[in-house]
Structure 1
């Protein structure tokens, strides 16, 4: 399960890249300045996420290949030693050399991701600034309504839709990161929590987008506002669990994935504050 967890995180990076492309195409189609701002926000978070995941991959390599393959000290509470014990115990030197050769081939790709992701974001930011000059707020000025009353509501609606698209991806990313909870032995994580988070977020977003927003149902919007506050409490609790220091006498099950989990929960807290501010 050790390799599967690392593979899952790399797959999440690929999905994030595809989702970013989807957001960019959606901005070009709708020519909406609010969605353009959401695209920039997602791109910024994606750069940080890619850096965190690549640095985490280096931890996986160190745990699986670079450390000694001898049986770990039974008195050690370091999860790296326990993972080595599960993966390979007293491995022969050919396996060591094979692992080192594999890592040497992977290093250029990892460093390329670290370099290209911020570079692509900078290029995208330059392009979006040009799109901002072209789009600006002309879409909102084109409506034949009382501009002083209707335009702020239309802008808030655009911001809410853009934020919901970013919210949905990071909820999906958080649910995916809970999948290996049984493999890595996450303490305090319910067995089917990833399924509940993913299915619940899909259901809420479908009801909110296709009925609450389109039908302008005030009760659903208020219910979503209250649910958002409760969800922020949940992610605040999870942030505390992930960041809580462990005793040296206990196994730290979050040692290998702590930074990715913390990043995702903190991003969801930030997005929750922005979403609530837009709703209010």
Structure 2
């Protein structure tokens, strides 16, 4: 499993690197407007998030195999499926860059490319097939990983949970705590991903300052660290604080989702025109994960309050 994950991630990294190379080669043919530069920066950030997801998958796999954790194997499959959805949205983002990101930009002609259309056609013909290969590879591997995880889950299940078979309450508490640990790890990735996506917000136009970006980074990091510590050390009162903070964060996520997807009055610039889909995707997944984290956090808190501890 680990070797297949590593080979898969290396192959995707090589293909994604080619797309980044062509992306850069295409963009340097233009002197972009501030908004065009923001779109280009966003696109590069999305590539970076994709690379980060590959590293995350390897780490997930290593930890799952070392601890023989079947729940995290299932989470790895779900994460890979989300990567497939992300790859699809990323293709759409590239189309936006090619069609909208160079509007108003000054083209720099050379002997090879006389017009913007020449450059666009040349690089699109090279990038698009690679992007479809990436999406196909993620889909194929998701199916393979699902089958493999099913087999390993059956193998790990008895070994991992037999320690707690004597006490049904403890066994259920162990499963709940393991699910919560897995959810916290997924929360960390998507919170970081969302914060990174806010970096070019001033250039694109949906924020006049970097205050929100810094705030999301700092609060997201502190909340994630606090959540991990409370779960790892089974600190019930710290866990209760985390649950309440997560409930507050849901209000922020809903507020941002409404703001991003609200209709724009005629004649007004739409600041989310080029980033709406990926921001909505990231926030929607984060919302679902945080809701699940709150649910299992409450279960684990109740178990700890009843004196049921695992470690």
> Which TM-score band applies after superposition, normalised by the shorter structure?
0.7 to 0.9
2:267 alignment partner in structure 1: 249
Q: Secondary structure at the match of 2:293?
A: helix
1:221 alignment partner in structure 2: 239
Q: Mean Cα displacement is larger for which, 119-128 or 231-240?
A: 119-128
CA displacement, residues 169-192 of structure 1 (integer Å, 9 cap, x when unaligned): 0001100110110111114x7522
Mapped pair 1:231 → 2:249: yes
Deviation at 1:49, TM superposition (A): 1.3
* Residues in 1 aligned to 2:127 and 2:152: alpha-carbon distance in whole angstroms: 37
Mapped pair 1:14 → 2:35: no
Cα contact 2:226–2:242 (8 A) shared by 1: no
* Residues in 2 aligned to 1:139 and 1:208: alpha-carbon distance in whole angstroms: 24
Q: Scaled by the length of structure 1, what TM-score is found?
A: 0.86
Cα contact 1:35–1:161 (8 A) shared by 2: no
Mapped pair 1:37 → 2:57: no
CA displacement, residues 92-150 of structure 1 (integer Å, 9 cap, x when unaligned): 9714212321222212211112221111111111111111111124312224x851221
Cα contact 1:50–1:114 (8 A) shared by 2: yes
Which structure has the higher relative contact order (CA within 8 Å, separation 6+)?
1
1:162 alignment partner in structure 2: 182
2:159 alignment partner in structure 1: 138
Deviation at 1:52, TM superposition (A): 0.9
Q: Mean Cα displacement is larger for which, 38-47 or 120-129?
A: 38-47
Q: Mean Cα displacement is larger for which, 169-178 or 4-13?
A: 4-13
Q: 5+ unaligned residues in a row in structure 1: which ranges?
A: 66-83
* Residues in 1 aligned to 2:197 and 2:232: alpha-carbon distance in whole angstroms: 32
Change in 2 beyond 3 A, CA 1:89/1:251: farther
* Residues in 2 aligned to 1:191 and 1:128: alpha-carbon distance in whole angstroms: 41
Aligned length: 258
Q: Secondary structure at the match of 1:179?
A: coil
Change in 2 beyond 3 A, CA 1:20/1:90: closer
Q: Secondary structure at the match of 1:48?
A: helix
User: What is the CA RMSD across the aligned residues, in angstroms?
Assistant: 2.0
Q: Secondary structure at the match of 2:269?
A: coil
Mapped pair 1:94 → 2:114: yes
1:55 alignment partner in structure 2: 92
Q: Secondary structure at the match of 2:234?
A: coil
Deviation at 1:61, TM superposition (A): 1.1
Aligned pair partner of 2:277 in 248, 251, 259: 259
Q: Scaled by the length of structure 2, what TM-score is found?
A: 0.78
1:175 alignment partner in structure 2: 195
Cα contact 1:32–1:139 (8 A) shared by 2: yes
1:195 alignment partner in structure 2: 214
